[in-house]
Structure 1
Amino acid sequence: MEATTAASQAAPAAVPLRANREFRLLWVGQALSDFGTSMTALVLPLALLSSGYSTSATSTIGTAVLVTAMVLRMPAGYLTDHYSHRRLMLAADLARLVTVATVAVWTYLDRLPIALAVVTVVVAQVGVELFRPSQNATVRRVVPAAQLGTAISLNQARAYAAGIVAPAVAGLLIAASLWLPFAIDAVTYAVSALCVLALYRSLRRAEAARSARAGGAADRAADPKKAQEAQEAQEGSGGAKAAPRERFLPRLTAGLRYVVRDPFLRTVAGLAAGENFAFQALAYALLLGIGREHNGAAAVGLAMSAAAVTGLTGSLIAPFLQRRLRMQTVMAAGPALAAVMLALAWYTGSGIAFAAGYSALCLLTPVNGAVFGTILATTVPENIYGRTTTALGFTTEILQPLGPLTAGVLLAYLSLSGTAALFALAFALLAAVALLMPSPPAAPDPRTAAA
Structure 2
Amino acid sequence: MSQGKRTSQGKRTSRGIRTSQGIRGGLLRRHRDFRLLWCGETAGKFGASVSGVAMPLVAVSTLHASTFEVGLLSAAAWAPWLIIGLPVGAWVDRLRRRPIMLTAAAVSLVLFAGVPVAARFDRLSIELLLAVALLTGTAAVFFQTAYSAYLPSILEPADQPEGNAKLHGSASAAQIAGLGSGGLIAQMAGAVNGMFAHASTFLVSLLCLAGIRHREPRAAMTGPRSSSLVGEVREGLRLIAHDRWLRTLTLFGAASNLALMGYQSIQVVFLVRTVGLAPGPVGALIAATGAGGVAGAFAARRVAVRIGTARATLLFELGLSVFALLIPLTVGGAGVLLFVVGGFCVSAGVVAGNIIKASFQQRYCPPELLGRLTASTAFLSYGTIPLGALLGGALGTALGIRTAMAITTAGIPLAALILFFSPIRRCRDLPTSRRPTPDSTRPPAPDGEPALPRP
TM-score by length of 2: 0.75
Match of 1:379 in 2: 364
SS at match of 1:203: coil
The answer to whether structure 1 residue 433 and structure 2 residue 421 are counterparts is yes
Q: What is the CA distance between 1:90 and its match in structure 2?
A: 1.4
Q: What is the CA distance between 1:23 and its match in structure 2?
A: 0.6
Whether contact under 8 Å (2:256, 2:416) holds in the other structure is: no
Moved more, 66-75 or 82-91: 66-75
Greater C-alpha radius of gyration:
1
Q: What is the CA distance between 1:62 and its match in structure 2?
A: 2.5
1:2-401 → structure 2 map (5 Å cutoff): 5=3, 8-10=6-8, 16-18=26-28, 19-48=30-59, 52=63, 54-55=65-66, 57=69, 59-174=71-186, 175-176=188-189, 180-199=193-212, 202-204=213-215, 231-234=216-219, 237-238=220-221, 240-241=222-223, 243=224, 246-281=227-262, 295=276, 304-338=286-320, 341=323, 356-400=341-385, 401=387
Whether contact under 8 Å (1:284, 1:407) holds in the other structure is: no
Aligned mates of 1:426, 1:375 — CA distance in 2: 23
Match of 1:443 in 2: 433
Match of 2:17 in 1: none
Q: What is the CA distance between 1:314 and its match in structure 2?
A: 0.7
Whether contact under 8 Å (1:108, 1:178) holds in the other structure is: no
SS at match of 1:54: coil
SS at match of 1:112: coil
Aligned mates of 2:327, 2:111 — CA distance in 1: 44
Moved more, 432-441 or 25-34: 432-441
Q: What is the CA distance between 1:337 and its match in structure 2?
A: 2.7
Q: What is the CA distance between 1:179 and its match in structure 2?
A: 5.5
The AA in structure 2 aligned to 1:32 is A
Post-superposition CA distance 1:316-349 (Å, at most 9, x none): 22221222222221121134434664789999x9
Aligned mates of 1:417, 1:187 — CA distance in 2: 33
Aligned mates of 2:191, 2:269 — CA distance in 1: 28
Whether contact under 8 Å (1:34, 1:159) holds in the other structure is: yes
Q: What is the CA distance between 1:409 and its match in structure 2?
A: 9.9
Aligned mates of 2:417, 2:249 — CA distance in 1: 15
Whether contact under 8 Å (1:337, 1:357) holds in the other structure is: no
Say how many residue pairs are matched.
411
Aligned mates of 2:71, 2:262 — CA distance in 1: 18
Post-superposition CA distance 1:283-338 (Å, at most 9, x none): 57977888776647799767533321112211122221222222221121134434
SS at match of 2:295: helix
Q: What is the CA distance between 1:130 and its match in structure 2?
A: 0.5
When residues 6 and 98 of structure 1 are mapped into structure 2, their CA distance, relative to the original with a 3 A threshold, is: closer
Post-superposition CA distance 1:225-266 (Å, at most 9, x none): xxxxxx4413xx33x25x465122111222111111112111
Give aligned-pair identity as a percent: 20
Q: What is the CA distance between 1:105 and its match in structure 2?
A: 2.7
Q: What is the CA distance between 1:443 and its match in structure 2?
A: 3.2
When residues 287 and 133 of structure 1 are mapped into structure 2, their CA distance, relative to the original with a 3 A threshold, is: same
Aligned mates of 2:109, 2:173 — CA distance in 1: 22
Whether contact under 8 Å (1:64, 1:122) holds in the other structure is: yes
Whether contact under 8 Å (2:36, 2:209) holds in the other structure is: yes
When residues 424 and 313 of structure 1 are mapped into structure 2, their CA distance, relative to the original with a 3 A threshold, is: closer
Post-superposition CA distance 1:162-199 (Å, at most 9, x none): 22112332344442366543333333222212221211
The AA in structure 2 aligned to 1:312 is V
Q: What is the CA distance between 1:68 and its match in structure 2?
A: 2.1
When residues 58 and 111 of structure 1 are mapped into structure 2, their CA distance, relative to the original with a 3 A threshold, is: farther
Q: Runs of 5+ in structure 1 lacking a partner?
A: 205-230, 446-451
Aligned mates of 1:95, 1:139 — CA distance in 2: 21
When residues 10 and 142 of structure 1 are mapped into structure 2, their CA distance, relative to the original with a 3 A threshold, is: farther
Q: What is the CA distance between 1:97 and its match in structure 2?
A: 1.7
Aligned mates of 2:365, 2:200 — CA distance in 1: 35
TM-score by length of 1: 0.76
Whether contact under 8 Å (1:321, 1:367) holds in the other structure is: no
